Structure 1
Amino acid sequence: MKIKLLIAVFFLTKIVVAQSYKEVKGGLLPERACFDVGYYDLHLTINPDEKTIKGHNVITFKVVKATKKIQIDLFKNLDIDSVVFENKKLSYERKFDAFFIDFPFELELNKNYSVAVYYGGKPRTNIGVRSTDGFHWKTHNKLPLVGVACQIVGASVWYPCKEYLGDEPDSVRLHWTVPVQLQCISNGKLEKVESSPIAGYKTSHWVVRNPINSYNVTIYLGDYQKVSGVYINASGRHSMEYYFLKKNDKSTKEAEKEKFYVQMGLTFVAFCEKMFGEYAFWNDKLAVVETVYDGMEHQSCVAVGSLRENPMGYAYAEDVNLHGTLIHELAHEWWGNAVSSSDMGDMWLHEGFATYTEYLFIEQMYGKKTYEAEISKMYENALSGLGGNVYKAQTDKILAPRNVYSNQVFGMQGQIYWAGAHFLHALRKEINNDTVFFDILRTFYERYKKKTVLTENFLQIVNEKTNKDWTQYFKNGLE
């Protein structure tokens, strides 16, 4: 009896701790719900030799409920030096991958405040359900090649922030102090580059003038070659930038591939603007960066693992000559970056929509018959677990639990990517009117760009445009 009692107490303790972690990580506790983030001013020194980061983030926020305490998120392996408010250090309590700041007085409703968090350490690498999140420390041309991706585990893996998808900063400034021999690429526009007091280092200053997911903030360091393509639309002449990893012995074939994929990106952007609406971040930029990891939709500077090869993990890669990662990550500029889910449980709005956009592009380039064949093959592969990196769907659920920032959502690849795309394909067939269906997609984008949404927002537009209640259809197809 005593042993059984101890076991019962142990498991009860484990359950309580796990639940508490989920509440802190993904939920809206009072200390997180009491403020809206307005602005991040992130300063960071990155040392590739030591694989360390050190700096501070000034977080400006508006109080929406009077409080004396707020929650900020930062992985527990990173050290906090101090938290400064109005030139005074504040006390704080660390709990899991977050910390709770105590203010000396009650913060007033509707008033803006700023708090600076000084921190540093060795950020984690190769974590998350795919073991691809965190910092990547590699070399290229005998120089450091550095990148960071964190969609699955969250931006607090490398900088202090409010880890809640429903609250994006309206703008950010980024100040990266890095070795002088490395090219530095980041979100938004480069304002200036200055020499640093640290010998052999420089500081690049960037500004993002649009709302941005916290996990979309990023930096690329390496030996890059920049290629620009010209894009012209109704609003003017724009530059689309490509950053290829520099090759000293580039072959003619590789150079031709670079040109081909540059043109493919321009063609795809024109397609998305025609189908959904104008790219939302021209006032920042549009860039594609070759990286050490597979790909990531970093806003205004999407990451692609290789810009010279067509990745064969895509179900259609053997049949149509499209760069799957390139067009998928660019599609996220519409679905995920401009229109952003406010909860990890609704990530199919990012991944399902972006994946379906790939297949709409196939239809545009190769015709309806090819589209039908490829999307059927994609779904069959997802269900069976075939097709290289096309992961098997573990359940038929596309929506995941809310208020849980869980990286297990991305273990549901078959659901949020391919089943999500197939749901949109099936919805299109059920509506049986392409004019109405594509008006739904365009309205969803135009109404909610630079905003955060839930599935209910999309359902509302479907109901509105078809004059029919699709609630049960969505429930059957997504839940």
Structure 2
Amino acid sequence: MRTVALSLSLTLTLGLTACGGPSGVHATPGSAGVGDPYFPKSGNGGYDVTHYDLTLAYTPDTSDASDTSETRDSAAAPTLTATATITARATTPLSTFDLDFQGMKVNSLTVDGKMASWTRSGQELKVRPPAALRKGRTFRTTVRYSGTPETITDPDGSDEGWLPTADGALALGEPTGSMAWFPGNDHPSDKATYDITITVPKGLQAVSNGELRSETTTGTARATTYSWHTPQPMATYLATVAIGHYDITRTTTRNGLPVYVAVDPQEAAASRKVLAKLPEIMEWEEYNFGPYPFSSTGAIVDRGGDAGYALETQNRPFFPGAPDTATLVHELAHQWYGDSVTPKTWRDMWLNEGFATYAEWLWAEDHDGDTAQQTFDALYKGTYFDDKADDDAVWAFPPATPTSAAHISDSPVYERGAMVLHKIRRTVGDARFYDIIQGWAATHRHGNANTADFTAYVEKMAPTKDFTEIWKNWLYGHGKPARP
């Protein structure tokens, strides 16, 4: 068995204003958490991150698997050390601020190049800069840390954070996993651009978000460094790193958009046919959803056991094993709905999953499958799933108000969320419906929005229509509506 030894150094860039004496800044502590209804500790108040610059170095365990000595056990312990630079702006005068960061040891921390003190409690890393931060100022912080990155268990029981794999590692962050491998403002309401540089032993690849700026091998030819740049804002939960052996394919769509696909060799044959549809799917989604919001696209396909779910990691979605066409359509649709238009809180998850699920229905409708109306009717009649329990689960709670953090990825958020969109389509007609979903993506491009923003937008776009029944019974109503 191969274990992981990992190196990551994180420098956090945040602008600092000096203050001292009677004329100094009157500052207060930034809040620990932004008050998310399901993840109250996630995110932090008092600042807005604009850029993360992460530099990672990864070294796998190369010891003899048959060696059971204490020396081998000590050497094989997975280790992470790092440097990251984050740029942020104070939104209120700050005497202290928090970062979300779970596990690993903080070795040193500076704010604007000066040593700062810090304390830790759970996922909160509380920083006291040497001088208060004035509102509106950019400031810089450097955090150096080491240790074993954690795999975090979600409230629904799935794994995220840092996931060791047979030949490397995988970082997935929805909803709170990014704090396992870099400190930051870990909430979807604070988006930033990224530079992620990863050094791995020669022979391994390192794939991340955005575009590959450079790939260089050291003079000793023992390590290769991959530098990735994400120029459009990205939520922390969408950041990813995939380290291992991959077959890399670089192509472009018909309109010149770069396509970068990384596939584990064990999944290459099974993935080839569906991944060949990626340019066609992108063209179809641009026609239906509007201009693609990012500067590249693609996919990461790892082995089936490396994670328990696909995820819409920005620019190139992640898949555990070869995806089917519907899943590829779904995760690519998230690039518009979820990645570009990102929810303000985790309560608004249906704005991600309802849209991406409805994209599956629309694709099937346009490619000789069931119409969206037939899918809607099957769900309402309870004949969509093979298991009656799955059919009943669609009505467990309203899509706009999941019952708890453990249920933000349940069927009402996906299927019933898609049913809400279909009800809107039936109410306004196809032409106005596509105006609505394209306009929604354009209006909130690279931003954040919530359910109230969406309902207000729909009503603005179709002022002569009455949506009361849809909002009351389908979006917010408990139980199965009386009629479809």
- TM-score, L = length of structure 2: 0.79
State the partner residue of 2:69: none
User: Within 2, Cα distance between the matches of 1:333 and 1:397?
Assistant: 24
The amino acid across from 2:99 in the alignment is I
- Equivalent residue of 2:367, what SS? helix
State the partner residue of 2:342: 340
- Equivalent residue of 1:397, what SS? coil
Aligned-pair CA distance for 1:47: 3.4
State the partner residue of 1:81: 107
1:287 aligns with 2:302: no
Q: Give the 3 Å change call, closer, same or farther, for CA 121–378 of structure 1 in structure 2.
A: farther
User: Within 2, Cα distance between the matches of 1:446 and 1:240?
Assistant: 22
User: Within 2, Cα distance between the matches of 1:99 and 1:457?
Assistant: 33
The amino acid across from 2:52 in the alignment is Y
Aligned-pair CA distance for 1:247: 4.5
- Superposition pairs for residues 371-450 of structure 1, below 5 Å? 371-378=372-379, 386=387, 392-393=393-394, 395-400=396-401, 407-410=405-408, 412-431=409-428, 433-450=429-446
CA contact (8 A) 2:151 2:180 kept: no
CA contact (8 A) 2:81 2:146 kept: yes
- Superposition pairs for residues 117-266 of structure 1, below 5 Å? 117-125=143-151, 127-128=153-154, 129-139=156-166, 144-169=167-192, 171-195=193-217, 200-233=222-255, 237-247=256-266, 254=269, 258-266=271-279
Aligned-pair CA distance for 1:360: 0.8
State the partner residue of 1:327: 329
State the partner residue of 1:43: 55
Q: Give the 3 Å change call, closer, same or farther, for CA 58–37 of structure 1 in structure 2.
A: same
Q: For 2:365, which of 363, 376, 389 is the aligned residue?
A: 363
Q: Deviations over 1:105-147 (max 9, x none)?
A: 22112111111121222222262124231222222xxxx1421
The amino acid across from 1:268 in the alignment is I
User: Within 1, Cα distance between the matches of 2:466 and 2:377?
Assistant: 27
- Equivalent residue of 1:166, what SS? coil
State the partner residue of 2:14: none
Q: For 1:351, which of 350, 353, 369 is the aligned residue?
A: 353
User: Within 2, Cα distance between the matches of 1:99 and 1:392?
Assistant: 39
User: Within 2, Cα distance between the matches of 1:70 and 1:189?
Assistant: 31
Q: Give the 3 Å change call, closer, same or farther, for CA 229–460 of structure 1 in structure 2.
A: same
- TM-score, L = length of structure 1: 0.80
State the partner residue of 1:101: 127
CA contact (8 A) 1:35 1:65 kept: yes
User: Within 2, Cα distance between the matches of 1:333 and 1:377?
Assistant: 28
- Equivalent residue of 2:199, what SS? strand
Q: Give the 3 Å change call, closer, same or farther, for CA 60–344 of structure 1 in structure 2.
A: same
Percent identity of the aligned residues?
Answer: 24
User: Within 2, Cα distance between the matches of 1:95 and 1:390?
Assistant: 42
User: Within 2, Cα distance between the matches of 1:40 and 1:214?
Assistant: 10
Q: Which has the higher helix share?
A: 1
User: Within 1, Cα distance between the matches of 2:180 and 2:388?
Assistant: 31
CA contact (8 A) 1:73 1:162 kept: yes
Is there any run of 5+ residues in structure 2 with no aligned partner, and where? Answer: 1-31, 62-76, 477-484
Aligned length: 423
User: Within 2, Cα distance between the matches of 1:173 and 1:365?
Assistant: 38
RMSD value, Cα: 3.0
Aligned-pair CA distance for 1:180: 1.8
User: Within 2, Cα distance between the matches of 1:165 and 1:21?
Assistant: 12
User: Within 1, Cα distance between the matches of 2:405 and 2:165?
Assistant: 24
- Equivalent residue of 1:119, what SS? strand
CA contact (8 A) 2:97 2:127 kept: yes
CA contact (8 A) 1:146 1:222 kept: yes
Q: Deviations over 1:404-442 (max 9, x none)?
A: xx74243x51121111111111222233x1111111111
Aligned-pair CA distance for 1:151: 0.4
Aligned-pair CA distance for 1:188: 1.1
User: Within 2, Cα distance between the matches of 1:389 and 1:59?
Assistant: 43
CA contact (8 A) 2:48 2:88 kept: yes
Aligned-pair CA distance for 1:351: 0.9
CA contact (8 A) 2:34 2:41 kept: no
CA contact (8 A) 1:359 1:375 kept: no
User: Within 1, Cα distance between the matches of 2:152 and 2:390?
Assistant: 18
1:305 aligns with 2:320: yes
Q: Give the 3 Å change call, closer, same or farther, for CA 218–66 of structure 1 in structure 2.
A: same
- Equivalent residue of 1:295, what SS? coil
1:110 aligns with 2:136: yes
Q: Give the 3 Å change call, closer, same or farther, for CA 22–32 of structure 1 in structure 2.
A: closer
Bigger shift: 219-228 or 123-132?
A: 123-132
Q: Give the 3 Å change call, closer, same or farther, for CA 380–219 of structure 1 in structure 2.
A: farther
- Equivalent residue of 2:393, what SS? coil
